[in-house]
Amino acid sequence: MAYVNDNYLKLKAGYLFPEIGRRVSKFAKENPQAKVIRMGIGDVTEPLPAACISAMHTAVDEMARRETFRGYGPEQGFDFLREAIARHDFQSRGAQVQADEIFVSDGSKCDTGNILDILGKSNVIAVTDPVYPVYVDTNVMAGHTGEADSGGRYAGLVYLPMTEANQFVPALPEQKVDIVYLCSPNNPTGMAASRSALEKWVDYARKNEAIIFFDAAYEAFITEADVPHSIYEIEGARECAIEFRSFSKTAGFTGTRCAFTVVPKGLTARTSTGEKVELHGLWNRRHTTKFNGVSYIVQRGAEAVYTPEGQSQVRQLVEFYLENARLMCAGLKQAGLTVYGGVNAPYVWLKTPNGLSSWDFFDQLLSKAHLVGTPGSGFGASGEGYFRLSAFNSRANVLEAIERVNKFVQG
Amino acid sequence: MAYVNDNYLKLKAGYLFPEIGRRVSKFAKENPQAKVIRMGIGDVTEPLPAACISAMHTAVDEMARRETFRGYGPEQGFDFLREAIARHDFQSRGAQVQADEIFVSDGSKCDTGNILDILGKSNVIAVTDPVYPVYVDTNVMAGHTGEADSGGRYAGLVYLPMTEANQFVPALPEQKVDIVYLCSPNNPTGMAASRSALEKWVDYARKNEAIIFFDAAYEAFITEADVPHSIYEIEGARECAIEFRSFSKTAGFTGTRCAFTVVPKGLTARTSTGEKVELHGLWNRRHTTKFNGVSYIVQRGAEAVYTPEGQSQVRQLVEFYLENARLMCAGLKQAGLTVYGGVNAPYVWLKTPNGLSSWDFFDQLLSKAHLVGTPGSGFGASGEGYFRLSAFNSRANVLEAIERVNKFVQG
């Protein structure tokens, strides 16, 4: 008699985005004339950079001729891409990351979930609150938690609140933790960790032999000099951090699929009998056993991001969304709302007016302004009373949305 | 202090293909003039079908324009592909599989490993011997085994020998098992399960509430009428089987990356307290939480496989490799070798001559005939004394290889 993984049954049924989808569909059906603007899911809207398009056409043509056809590639990614990443994303910033420490994958969502495979069951795990739900759900699936309470917090996880009260800078945990997820620039708050904040975390991790899972998917949106682009800009981070990066938001690859994870050589954790084991070797074993590499065509597209044309096109793309975010912050402030984020990230995190709950604000904004955002409480208990708007949209929609929010707040 | 997953330390260090690579590199370095023919790894050599190339060019162009750009797609795959798969691969054969039971992924290697996520720790797992190593290694990683013995067999797994003695048809297990991996047409033996053999397995699984993981990656190579293309051609299989399929060997997608897994609705397993839970829902939850869909461009390429041109081009491709396999079987038999497989699969499984061990035969074939194959013992203890040759190669190389084997056996 086959048995299921009972841990899956602890997952709460309603994942955030399907619930949003359900409410939006219902509204759209009942109000077919309403022009709904969707700023809920953080998905890009602008086309791929021309350099990527051109590189992928060339790669497709290579697949059409026997002499240039590519079968299985290295599971870890082609050297041409790993080397370009190491040089441009790390070494150019003084972060000592080598090409063979980079594992190319089809998505950071996958990597942040799969990384748990190589770690033990006894680790104490810390997440921020609010948080990207995948970190929590994958720990639930792996059996690292007990049941959820009525507020949605799972027993066994350590939650680190990020609210207005601490200016969205999570405090170091009071109890000892073994693994901590940090996302900077942050999804959902749009706030970014300063150098000194990251230094404190690296210091904490080294003292406690903890590991930081550093999610830098929104790194390209950083505008302030004080905000590190990589955790490896912090001294000592190679001993205690794994970094996740993605082409999704940088180059618009959400539907094209390419990301990478850095596992530094020398980064270790303990066996149950206390010996140190390098995580690089374990992750390499997982990656080569349970993954078969990213499409050659896509890897050539990603490589093109690092050409001079690619860099300038990506910069333009990011600037476009950042200008959206700036307009949104300014417009919402003018409407009298309290607004965070949007400076180093494509997300604006606003306080719901009049003490409305996140979902009540969602419903009112949808029904009165025909505007869709994401209720902050969907990202965790401490997100209650907040609301996320994504700057991934056309300029026209952004301007229209700002106007509607203004009318809504006034009215 | 962070802990690793100790189960990884049980994995044997030398995975088969790296060891082959090491020996071939050494030989090539010492014999730079030798023209080595590689029939070891089962990787395709011919270019992609023209229909796929054309569809991917169109898709790349769509990504270049805002109006046709695609961001996140459904994690389970686009309907256009899921519907084409359901119609062509299943319904046309009388197998009642619906589009929403198909989960598009980036590889069967990933899926056959990841499927364990949704299943419990207490299941008794059976694998054939010889076997595709990923099935075993992913169970080791998941903590479903004890240590390996000196022959490489892990404690806790049930091994079902497939040898000349049983004509490579594994017997039903003597003890009760909860999950069994079946691969047909088989990698590595190249032999395929008949309808009656599969009926016995489905009957066994239903009686024991066991689940069959049916790997049909080589389905396109079936030539005999008695061999089912899908487990769902067998009555009752929807209640007990998950099927894995791939575009890798069918359409040459090893470097392009697309596959799919069928999880029928109604297929259940038990919680630890004995309630039945549908695996479709659990897999859907895993797929949407730990995966973000296959590249839109690649899915359009896969869809083109099902167009009339695509079908005829894929047929040609498969026929080309099958003719290679036929030539190899005939040539090796003529050389006096005992040969299996090659009729419904692109693999030829030969008995090493003169009782040579698999690795001794490997070394001799490499040094004397400059030909690389895969030692059967690398696939499991019962593979000892056998050797796999892949038919994925150019015709010229195949003919040359046959000649070299002939000389080698004579000489």
Assign residue B357 the CATH number of its domain: 3.90.1150.10
pLDDT exceeds cutoff 70 at B268: yes
pLDDT of residue A349: 98
* Whether residues A224 and A338 fall in one domain: no
pLDDT of residue B42: 87
pLDDT exceeds cutoff 80 at A256: yes
**In B338-351, which positions are buried (b, 16+ CB within 10 angstroms) versus exposed (e)?**
ebbbbbbbbbbbbb
pLDDT tens, A215-246? 999 999 999 999 999 999 999 999 999 999 99
ipTM > 0.95 for the complex: yes
Chain A residue with minimum CA distance to B205: A1
- Cβ of B69 within 8 Å of Cβ of A48? The answer is yes
**H-state helical runs in A246-295:** 279-290
* Domain membership flag for residue A348: yes
pLDDT exceeds cutoff 70 at A40: yes
Instruction: Cis check for the bond before B188: say yes or no (omega within 30 of 0).
Output: yes
Average pLDDT over residues B219-238: 98
**Please, are residues B410 and B62 in contact by the beta-carbon 8 Å criterion?**
no
* Whether residues B286 and B348 fall in one domain: no
Q: Which of A48, A119, A255 sits opposite B2 (nearest CB)?
A: A119
> How confident is the prediction for chain B on average, in pLDDT?
96
Confidence of residue B14 (pLDDT cuts 50, 70, 90): low
pLDDT tens, A271-292? 999 999 999 999 999 999 999 9
pLDDT tens, B96-141? 999 999 999 999 999 999 999 999 999 999 999 999 999 999 999 9
Q: For residue B152, give every residue at least 6 positions away whose Cβ sits within 8 Å of its Cβ, in sequence order, or none.
A: B12, B380, B381
* Whether residues A210 and A353 fall in one domain: no
Residue A184 sits at the chain B interface (C-beta within 8 Å): no
* Whether residues B88 and B36 fall in one domain: no
pLDDT of residue A27: 97
* Whether residues B221 and B329 fall in one domain: no
Instruction: Cis check for the bond before A185: say yes or no (omega within 30 of 0).
Output: yes
* Whether residues B277 and B329 fall in one domain: no
Residue B293 sits at the chain A interface (C-beta within 8 Å): yes
pLDDT of residue A313: 98
* Domain membership flag for residue A171: yes
Q: Which of B308, B331, B356 is the last residue of a domain?
A: B308
* Domain membership flag for residue A380: yes
Q: Which of A43, A71, A178 sits opposite B255 (nearest CB)?
A: A71
Residue A115 sits at the chain B interface (C-beta within 8 Å): no
Q: Which of A245, A279, A306 is the last residue of a domain?
A: A306
Chain B residue with minimum CA distance to A204: B1
Q: For residue B18, give every residue at least 6 positions away whose Cβ sits within 8 Å of its Cβ, in sequence order, or none.
A: none
pLDDT tens, A111-164? 999 999 999 999 999 999 999 999 999 999 999 999 999 888 999 999 999 999
Helices A16-30 and A358-369 meet at what angle, rounded to 10?
30
* Domain membership flag for residue A2: no
- Cβ of B279 within 8 Å of Cβ of A117? The answer is no
pLDDT exceeds cutoff 70 at A13: no
Cα B2 to Cα A112, A407, B9: the distances in Å are 16, 51, 16
* Whether residues A105 and A193 fall in one domain: yes
**CATH at A242:** 3.40.640.10
Confidence of residue B16 (pLDDT cuts 50, 70, 90): confident
Going by C-alpha positions, the residue among A260, A246, A130 that lies closest to residue A188 is A130
What would you measure as the largest C-alpha separation in chain A, in angstroms? 67
The tally of domains found in chain A comes to 2
* Whether residues A390 and A372 fall in one domain: yes
* Domain membership flag for residue A271: yes
* Domain membership flag for residue A261: yes
pLDDT of residue A14: 63
pLDDT of residue B151: 83
Q: Which of A249, A279, A306 is the last residue of a domain?
A: A306
Minimum distance, in Å, between the CA of residue B208 and any CA atom of chain A = 6
* Domain membership flag for residue A10: no
Segments forming the whole domain that contains residue A125: 52-306
Minimum distance, in Å, between the CA of residue A254 and any CA atom of chain B = 5
pLDDT of residue A18: 79
pLDDT of residue B13: 67
Partner A, chain B 9-48, Cβ-Cβ below 8 Å: 9, 11, 15, 41, 43-48
Residue B320 sits at the chain A interface (C-beta within 8 Å): no
* Whether residues A273 and A131 fall in one domain: yes
Residue A275 sits at the chain B interface (C-beta within 8 Å): no
* Whether residues B277 and B161 fall in one domain: yes
CA distance A358 to A351: 9
CA distance A180 to B99: 39
* Whether residues B237 and B280 fall in one domain: yes
* Domain membership flag for residue B1: no
* Whether residues A36 and A62 fall in one domain: no
Structure tokens at A261: 């994870």
pLDDT tens, A345-375? 999 999 999 999 999 999 999 999 999 999 9
Partner B, chain A 339-398, Cβ-Cβ below 8 Å: 394
pLDDT exceeds cutoff 80 at B11: yes
